[in-house]
Amino acid sequence: AQSVTQLDSQVPVFEEAPVELRCNYSSSVSVYLFWYVQYPNQGLQLLLKYLSGSTLVKGINGFEAEFNKSQTSFHLRKPSVHISDTAEYFCAVSPTNTGGFKTIFGAGTRLFVKA
């Protein structure tokens, strides 16, 4: 079975400051890793994904994440946040042998960017 732990439920940060949203996962099989963003009253939108290869993954809106297999982590980072980055962020894992059928989501981290 898989599990996803997002270590921070809320992260307040000032505009233009860097931010890191933490995600740890547990799985006995190899997984794909994802970060999704959800703006208020909207569905989820893919920020970035790790399938294989380089452990540093770049996504949309200036976000990046690094896959660390030994620490089973996939932390999301942005060097300088904007007000518009205020949203809910979900880390997710999907076993590579299930094609997305068993995607597990973390509880979410609310990023609040202050002026």
Partner 1 sequence: GAVVSQHPSWVICKSGTSVKIECRSLDFQATTMFWYRQFPKQSLMLMATSNEGSKATYEQGVEKDKFLINHASLTLSTLTVTSAHPEDSSFYICSAKRGAPDTGELFFGEGSRLTVL
Task: Catalog residues that contact partner 1 under the rule CB under 8 A.
Answer: 32, 34, 36, 41-46, 49, 51, 90, 94, 96, 98-101, 103, 105-108, 110
- Comparing CB distances to partner 1, the nearer of 80 and 97 is 97
Beta-strand ranges (E) seen in the chain are: 3-6, 10-14, 19-21, 23-26, 31-38, 44-50, 56-58, 64-68, 73-78, 87-95, 104-105, 109-114
Give dist(CA 78, CA 107) in Å, integer.
Answer: 20
Residue type, 3: S
**Closest separation between CB of residue 91 and partner 1, Å?**
10
**Closest separation between CB of residue 19 and partner 1, Å?**
19
Q: How many CB atoms lie within 10 A of CB 15?
A: 14
**Closest separation between CB of residue 30 and partner 1, Å?**
11
- Comparing CB distances to partner 1, the nearer of 4 and 113 is 4
- Comparing CB distances to partner 1, the nearer of 17 and 91 is 91
- Comparing CB distances to partner 1, the nearer of 71 and 98 is 98
